[in-house]
A and B are shown apart, each in its own frame.
Chain A
Amino acid sequence: MEAGVRLSTVPWARPKWIPVARSPLWWLQAAVLLLLAYLVLFPSVVLMLESVRDAAGKWTLAWFVQVYSSAGNYQALVNSLIVGAGSALFATILGTLLAWIVARTDTPCRGLLEIAALVPFICPPFIGALAWTLLGSPNTGLLNQWARKLLGIERLVNMYSLGGMVLVIGLYTAPFVLLIVGGALRSMDATMEEASMMSGANQAMTTAVVTLPLVAPAILSGAFLALVLALEQFGVPAVLGLPARIPVLTTKIWTTISEYPPQYGQGAALCVVLLLLTVAGVLLQRQLLSRRRFTTVTGKGARPRLVRLGGLRWATFGFGLAYLMAAMVLPMGVLVLASFRTIWTQELAWSQLTLQNYGYILLKYPLSRLAMTNSILLGAGGATLAILLAAVVSFLNLRARLPGHRALEQLAMLPLAFPGIVLAYGMLRAWIQPPLVLYGTMYILLAAYIGRYLPYGVQSTSSTLAQIHPELEESSLMSGASWLSTFRCITLPLLRSGVMAGWILLFVSFLRELSASVLLYTPKQVVLSVALFDLWASGDIGYLAALSVLMILIAVAALGVLRRLRAAGPGFDRGIS
């Protein structure tokens, strides 16, 4: 499982069947390059320029000076680093342990525990944070109430804190570490472990001295991915940090430009700093992934044996179960409870039970109906366009390999380093002015979603295409078919497994995207995540919980389809913030 498929290392040379010059593919590649430049490069350039130019267009560093001469902004940077590092550490430990339990031990019900990998797709971190406020508010959170009654402990957790943010982000980021480390653990060459055991080392020592170092690059890669995901998280710090007056960079960017009058220059300067942090994280992660020599993950050799834990296997089962409880069962349970109550008080009374929240959300609240329509339309249409674009990018990059294809790959992968809110900020500023005003239309969200998630689509289609030998396409072309018919009749059908998997995962991601949507939407373009965010801001707990439950059900249905297609797999290892 990789965050970035290294397309350029695919060993094929440019096939001879592609005429180097005057091919329509040139024009196609040029058009795709232009489109990507408009989607990704243009907003980035606008953002950079805005951070170093004043209102009159003169060069200045004043925004950076203003931003970092304010104690509040400086504190936001420090908090971002604390939350980023803390969540990454927590997610890495949690994800690695879960991966080991699921992939390498004889823990019972491992199939059930594997659901952990799907957690962030079922329950987005933002909804998780909302639920955890009901569970872990310092005075009235259910867990704290139970702790007081049953254990006599005054306060078990306080979610409105840096620790609360670390806990929630860590819980919902750990599955990505699990996927990366689990993949490495499953496919590692077992002969080294066997050699260790035969030399007299016991199981614990072998795990510590042989297994762990073998998968260390995967663990580190997961850690950096977790760091980037935590740094770009917006929903969780908004829910848990803003009320407690604990800013991080993402919430600071949002408040800076959502207050009146908006401070765009300062916002841009904050964006650039956050971008530098995430770019560093992504580069480090890719650097680690490129050091293949440290791993023996070859796909060859004996399949690793399961570690027999004896009585301890129930402890590991309990650990996995505790994770599922904390990340899914408890949050979803409390949301379901809130969705059936008229008002959230300390004491639950029968008179509070109601179906009215669902009635209101489904039948009366115009925003939720509009949001559902928009989200499904954007999700389906956007995922289709994004995956087709991804297929074309993969085809041009892996098959056509015309001069300039590396630029194409790099441009398509560029958004990996962009936090959603930063990319959206650039898009907002770039597309609100002529020549092409996208602001105020659905196309701004469409373009933002495609721009932001294209790398994952490309990973999905490229990893499939990389496994298919080009001779089928060569035969088609040699038999006289045009490149277009070859792409349509041969390449695209061959890609359909990757395309279907990518489509569904993009659909789920688009459905829940918050950090870009919250900046770019206008009231006619309300989407589900924004409707949720608004209900959160307006304090309508019952409606908020009902809509959250419905959103989770839609995601579960989509993942059910995905599971039936058995297409869940590599190429989609970054979460949705």
Chain B
Amino acid sequence: MAAQIWSENPGRRTFLGWTGAAAAGLALGLPRRTLAAAAGKVLQYAGGSAESLTALDELFTAKTGIPAESWRAGGVAVVQKVEAEFQAGRVLHNVIGNTEVEAMIRWAEQGHLLNYDSPEAAHFPREFRMPGYWVPQKVLLNTIAYNTGMIKPAEAPKHWADLMDPVWKDKIVMLDARASGSAVHFVFAMRKLLGKEFATRMAKQNVMLKRSGGDVANTVVAGERPIGVAIQEYYVYSRAKKGGPIAAVLPDEGVPMTIYALCIPKNGPDLEAAKRYVDFALGKEAQTLWQEKFATPVLRDDVPPYPREFGLRPLKEVKIIFSAIEDLKEEGATKREFMDEWKQVSG
């Protein structure tokens, strides 16, 4: 091969130029990127949709001049990354936004979190926050969603137990509790409501599992599986707004509510910027944005009620089950047990 291409080789200068430039780029670029680690800016590790996080970050930067970025992942992955950084002693982030509040309670107890009471915290109900450590930025309701082009509203499942009906076999797509903190809470609540057999009964329905509410919503909208379970309402709302054939059902017997809270790691960089971000995210403007633009309900007391569209309704009209702080503590204590059951069916 060498002889064949010998005469058509690039010049030595070209080659050395390329490699030299690349090596110099690496030598100069890498350390700077690494050492820059969020000096004077916000780096949030967060669950949720990329679009909504980007919008809030941009608004924060526009208001304060402080650059903000969010790295998005599933709730479980966020906990993993955060703990890996705690373990390595190299905390790169300075804000955590996540549904795994049970982990936040543990981090607070282990001394990993900054003790900070945002002045905005007083606007949030006491039973859904941990004073000094975390406040719910938003809440997620785990709904049933259905494809309105394939299922008439009257025929859609109305209760959680309806999902076990053989008529829905091979028709359900569900959020995987191995990937999403919201789904972990959902499995905990359903196990309390429907019994320990919940996981195995869902497996018998041959559910398809997806790793985010967005993907569950896509699968319903495309019609691949007409019923979506544990899907958060903002995914229903956003797809429906784009013209997708999807609507939600909020069963009367109650809906599990996942708290999405904000906290600050004690050893993160630039904690002042982090505090300002938390204050801003809990403030009325950002809270209104969450609810109006991204259809995510918030608990703040002075924000207008949630819209009544696509089967969704204001939070006050929804019965919330198994979602208070005491329930979350029980969830933390029994998590290994019910997640082991879940793993048996999730493959």
Contact = CB atoms under 8 A, between A and B. Distances in A.
Interface string B10-30: 101001001101110111011
A258 B72 contact: no
Nearest to A507: B22
Interface in B197-235: 203, 207-218, 221-225, 235
Contact of A499 (B15, B26, B90): B15
B218 A468 contact: no
A259 B222 contact: no
Interface stretch (B154-162, B236-244, B271-279, B287-295): B236-244
Contacts of A247: 347
Nearest to B235: A539
A523 B2 contact: no
18 contacts: A140-B223, A258-B76, A343-B221, A345-B243, A352-B243, A380-B26, A385-B26, A439-B88, A440-B92, A443-B30, A498-B2, A522-B92, A523-B81, A526-B71, A536-B215, A537-B73, A538-B211, A539-B213
Contact of A72 (B85, B210, B343): B343
A522 B85 contact: yes
Interface string A367-394: 1000000100110111111011000000
Given A259-B343, A381-B26, A468-B2, 16 more contacts: A138-B224, A140-B222, A160-B208, A343-B242, A365-B50, A380-B21, A387-B19, A433-B88, A440-B84, A440-B88, A443-B30, A467-B3, A493-B12, A503-B19, A522-B85, A538-B215
B223 A440 contact: no
A500 interface: yes
Contacts of B69: 366
Contact of A260 (B1, B33, B100): B100
Nearest to A349: B243
B31 to A, nearest CB: 9
A196 interface: no
A381 B30 CA distance: 10
Interface of A: 71-72, 75, 137-140, 160, 241-247, 255, 258-260, 262, 342-346, 349, 351-352, 360, 364-367, 374, 377-378, 380-385, 387-388, 432-433, 437, 439-443, 446, 463-464, 467-468, 493, 496-500, 503, 522-524, 526, 534-541, 543, 565-567, 569-570
A497 B85 contact: no
B77 interface: yes
A310 B56 CA distance: 66
B66 interface: no
A154 to B, nearest CB: 13
Contacts of B81: 522-523
A467 B133 CA distance: 66
Contact of B25 (A140, A381, A441): A381
A138 B208 CA distance: 12
B130 interface: no
Nearest to A382: B26
A345 to B, nearest CB: 6
A538 B37 contact: no
Given A245-B209, A262-B80, A463 B1 contact: yes
A244 B244 CA distance: 24
Contacts, number: 219
A38 B284 CA distance: 53
Contacts of A345: 221-223, 243-245
A42 B72 CA distance: 32
B167 interface: no
Most buried by B among A243, A346, A570: A243
Contacts of A443: 30, 34
A432 B88 contact: yes
B12 A344 contact: no
Given A380-B25, A432-B88, A260 B76 contact: yes
Interface string B92-128: 1100000010010000000000000000000000000
A321 B87 CA distance: 53
A476 to B, nearest CB: 16
B80 A464 contact: no
A439 B84 contact: yes
Contact of A537 (B1, B21, B211): B211
Contact of A346 (B77, B223, B345): B223
B43 A496 contact: no
B333 interface: no
B329 interface: no
Contacts of B76: 258-260
Contact of A384 (B26, B74, B178): B26
A377 B343 CA distance: 39
B74 A537 contact: yes
B68 to A, nearest CB: 9
B267 interface: no
Contacts of A388: 19
B34 A570 contact: no
Given A342-B242, A343-B242, A537-B179, A137 B224 contact: yes
Given A381-B22, A523-B81, A565-B9, A437 B215 contact: no
A344 B92 contact: no
B34 to A, nearest CB: 5
A432 B51 CA distance: 31
Nearest to B70: A366
B243 A432 contact: no
Nearest to A494: B2
Contacts of B216: 539
A259 B179 CA distance: 7
Nearest to A495: B2
Nearest to A439: B88
A380 B100 CA distance: 38
A344 B218 contact: yes
Contacts of A500: 9-10, 15
Interface in B239-280: 239, 242-245
A244 B208 contact: yes
A261 to B, nearest CB: 8
Q: Which of A343, A433, A503 has the most CB of B within 10 A?
A: A343
Contacts of A541: 218
A44 B76 CA distance: 27
Residue among A244, A259, A365, A441 with most chain B CB within 10 A: A259
B243 A343 contact: yes
Nearest to A378: B26
Contacts of B85: 440, 522
B45 interface: yes
Given A365-B54, A377-B30, A523-B81, A538 B49 contact: yes
B8 interface: yes
B134 to A, nearest CB: 17
A71 B200 CA distance: 14
Q: Which 10 A-B pairs have the closest CB atoms?
A: A381-B26, A539-B214, A539-B215, A523-B71, A245-B347, A380-B22, A440-B90, A384-B22, A537-B211, A247-B347
Contacts of A160: 208
Interface string B29-64: 110011001000001010001110010010000000
Contacts of B74: 537
A365 B50 CA distance: 8
A494 B205 CA distance: 64
Contacts of A383: 22
A539 B217 contact: yes
B214 A538 contact: yes
A529 B244 CA distance: 28
B260 to A, nearest CB: 15
Nearest to A445: B30
Contacts of B22: 380-381, 383-384
